[in-house]
C-alpha cells in the first residue's frame, strides 16, 4: 500500500499553508457554477487547516486557458461560492504570482483565506517551471495537496512546489489513495470491474491491469462493439475502433488464459440515429441489424450484470453503459448505478461520466467511494506512479 503523510502528521499551528485544490468546476455561459461538488469536497481539509490558527492560501486551475488570461475562466465565482460555504470572506487575487499577490499575502491575518487566480493563466504552471514553483512556495511554510484530479500531472502547483516545502496530503487525497490503493493491492474477492465508455483505446492500460486482479470483467458502452466485432459479430453502424480490433482480440485471449469471466452485452438497445427522436428496439447480440446503432445495454444484460454486482465483495465502475446523455439511452447506465448503490460489497466509482450517472440517479451517497479524478484514478489503477502523490512525504 502507498502510505503518505497527511495534514494530521505535521504541526500546522500558526503556519502559513498553501494548498492545491481542484476547483475546476463547470460554469454556465453567464459564469455561474452549475455544480459545486469539487468545492464542497475540499471543505473538510480547509476547515481542519483553519482550526490550527493558520493563514491559508488556496490555488487551483479552471478550464483550459493554455497559458493565457481568459476573463471567463477567472476564479472570482469560485471565491464567492467558497466564501458562502465557509461563512467567511475569501480574498481572491487577480494573479497567482507577482508583487500584488505578495502584498496581499504579507497582509494576511491568522484565519484569513486567500484564493490565487487561475494557475493556468501562466504557461509555466503546466510546464512545471521551477521558478514559478519556487515563487508559489515562497508564500508559505507548508504545502498541502488535496487535488487528486490533477495528481497524474507533473505541474508546478502539484509536483514542482513540493521540492521547496514540506509536502503532505489533504483528507480528499488520503481517501483516494486509501480506496484506490485497496483495489490495486488487496481487493476483497470476488472482485469485479465494470468498464464502459465510448473507446477501448482510452482504457487499454487499465483493462490489462484489471485482468491480473479481477474475477469478472463486465464490458459496456461503445467500446463493447470493438470487442464484439473482434469476436466475429455483426455490429451494424455501432461505434468500432477498427485499428483496435486486434488489441481487443488479444485482451479476450488474455482473459481466457487467466480464467477471468469476461462478460459482454447479450442484448442491446439499437437506434436508427443517436438522438432523442430516434426509433429504437431491443435486439440480441447475434441479431444486430446492419443499419442500426447500439446505444445502450439491453434488459437481459442488465439482469446478468446485476447478478455479478450482487455477489461481489469489491466492485469498481468506470464509464457509462450507453449514450446516457440522452434519456432514452440511459436506462442501462442508471440500472448499473442503482445496483452499485444497493450492493453489499465495497463500491468505487471513478471517471467523469459514471460519477455524473450516480449523481443524476441520486445515489452518490450510497457509494463507498466516488473518485474525484477520472484520468488520475485510471492511471493509479494501472499501477502508474502519479507525480503529485510521489512527491508527498512518506508516512
Which stretches of the chain score pLDDT less than 70?
A: 352
Name the catalytic one among 94, 134, 199, 360: 199
Residue 224 burial (CB count, 10 A)? 29
- Which residue in 152, 62, 213 sits closest to 377, CA to CA? 152
Distance CA 386, CA 379 (A): 8
The residue behind cell 487535488 is 147
Cα 97 to Cα 22, 120, 311, 360, distances in angstroms:
19, 12, 53, 38
Give the list of residues 6+ apart from residue 30 with CB closer than 8 angstroms, or none: none
Expressed in angstroms, the distance from the first to the final Cα of the chain is 11
Name the catalytic one among 134, 352, 360, 383: 352
* CA triple 56-58-63, angle to 5 deg: 170
Q: What is residue 27's DSSP assignment?
A: B
Query: What pLDDT, on a 0 to 100 scale, did the predictor assign at position 37?
Result: 84
Q: And the C-alpha cell for 176?
A: 483516494
Q: And the C-alpha cell for 280?
A: 429504437
Does residue 14 contact residue 54 with C-beta atoms inside 8 Å?
Answer: yes
Query: What pLDDT, on a 0 to 100 scale, did the predictor assign at position 1?
Result: 86
Distance CA 390, CA 385 (A): 7
Domains of the chain: 7-172 (3.40.50.1260), 179-381 (3.40.50.1260)
Q: Is 213 a catalytic residue?
A: no
Distance CA 47, CA 43 (A): 6
Cα 260 to Cα 29, 204, 205, 244, 320, distances in angstroms:
47, 16, 17, 21, 21
Q: Do the bridges between strand 142-145 and strand 167-169 make them parallel or antiparallel, or are there none, so unpaired?
A: parallel
Query: What pLDDT, on a 0 to 100 scale, did the predictor assign at position 170?
Result: 98
Name the catalytic one among 20, 38, 74, 120: 38
Distance CA 170, CA 367 (A): 21
Edge-to-edge, what's the strand order for the sheet holding 191-195?
Answer: 261-263, 216-219, 191-195, 314-318, 346-349, 369-370
Say what the alpha-carbon torsion angle 361, 365, 369, 374 is, to the nearest 10 degrees.
Answer: 40
Query: What pLDDT, on a 0 to 100 scale, did the predictor assign at position 308?
Result: 98
Query: What pLDDT, on a 0 to 100 scale, did the predictor assign at position 222?
Result: 96
Q: Is 254 a catalytic residue?
A: no
Cα 65 to Cα 73, 126, 382, distances in angstroms:
7, 11, 29
Does residue 190 contact residue 311 with C-beta atoms inside 8 Å?
Answer: yes
Cα 160 to Cα 99, 166, 198, 315, distances in angstroms:
21, 12, 34, 35
Q: Is 38 a catalytic residue?
A: yes
Does residue 183 contact residue 316 with C-beta atoms inside 8 Å?
Answer: yes
Q: What are the pLDDT digits (tens) for 343-367?
A: 999 999 987 688 889 989 999 999 9
Name the catalytic one among 63, 205, 236, 375: 375
- 331-341 vs 352-361: helix crossing angle, rounded to 10: 80
φ, ψ at 388 (rounded to 5°) = -70, -20
Q: Is 350 a catalytic residue?
A: no
Amino acid at each position: 500500500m502507498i502510505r503518505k503523510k497527511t495534514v494530521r502528521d505535521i504541526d500546522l499551528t500558526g503556519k502559513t499553508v498553501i494548498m492545491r485544490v481542484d476547483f475546476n468546476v463547470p460554469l454556465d455561459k453567464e459564469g455561474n457554477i452549475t455544480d459545486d461538488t469539487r468545492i464542497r469536497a475540499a471543505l473538510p481539509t480547509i476547515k481542519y487547516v483553519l482550526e490550527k490558527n493558520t493563514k491559508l492560501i488556496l490555488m487551483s486551475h479552471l478550464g483550459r486557458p493554455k497559458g493565457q488570461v481568459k476573463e471567463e475562466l477567472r476564479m472570482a465565482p469560485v471565491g464567492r461560492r467558497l466564501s458562502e460555504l465557509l461563512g467567511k470572506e475569501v480574498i481572491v487575487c487577480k494573479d497567482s504570482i507577482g508583487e500584488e499577490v505578495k502584498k496581499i499575502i504579507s497582509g494576511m491575518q491568522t484565519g484569513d483565506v486567500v484564493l490565487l487566480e487561475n494557475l493556468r493563466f501562466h504557461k509555466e504552471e503546466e510546464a512545471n517551471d521551477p521558478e514559478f514553483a519556487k515563487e508559489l512556495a515562497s508564500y508559505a511554510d507548508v504545502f498541502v495537496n488535496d487535488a487528486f484530479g490533477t495528481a497524474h500531472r507533473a505541474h508546478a502547483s502539484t509536483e514542482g512546489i513540493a521540492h521547496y516545502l514540506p509536502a503532505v496530503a489533504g483528507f480528499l487525497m488520503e481517501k483516494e489513495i486509501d480506496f484506490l490503493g485497496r483495489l490495486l493491492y488487496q481487493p476483497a474477492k470476488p472482485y469485479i470491474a465494470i468498464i464502459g465508455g465510448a473507446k477501448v483505446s482510452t482504457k487499454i492500460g487499465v483493462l490489462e491491469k484489471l485482468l491480473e486482479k479481477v474475477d469478472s470483467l463486465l464490458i459496456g458502452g461503445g467500446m463493447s462493439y470493438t470487442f464484439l466485432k473482434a469476436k466475429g459479430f455483426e455490429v451494424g453502424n455501432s461505434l468500432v475502433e477498427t485499428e483496435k480490433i486486434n488489441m481487443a482480440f488479444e485482451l479476450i485471449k488474455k482473459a481466457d488464459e487467466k480464467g477471468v469471466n469476461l462478460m459482454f452485452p447479450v442484448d442491446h438497445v439499437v437506434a436508427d440515429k443517436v438522438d432523442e427522436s430516434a426509433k429504437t428496439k431491443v435486439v440480441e447480440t447475434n441479431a444486430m441489424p446492419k443499419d442500426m446503432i447500439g446505444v445502450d445495454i439491453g434488459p437481459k444484460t442488465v439482469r446478468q450484470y446485476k447478478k455479478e454486482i450482487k455477489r461481489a465483495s469489491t466492485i469498481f465502475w468506470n464509464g457509462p453503459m450507453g449514450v446516457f446523455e440522452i434519456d432514452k439511452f440511459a436506462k442501462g447506465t442508471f440500472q448499473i448505478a442503482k445496483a452499485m448503490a444497493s450492493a453489499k460489497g465495497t463500491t468505487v466509482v471513478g471517471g467523469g461520466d459514471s460519477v455524473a450517472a450516480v449523481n443524476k440517479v441520486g445515489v452518490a451517497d450510497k457509494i463507498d467511494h466516488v473518485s474525484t479524478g477520472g484520468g488520475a484514478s485510471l492511471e493509479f489503477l494501472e499501477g502508474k506512479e502519479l507525480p503529485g502523490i510521489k512527491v508527498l512525504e512518506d508516512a
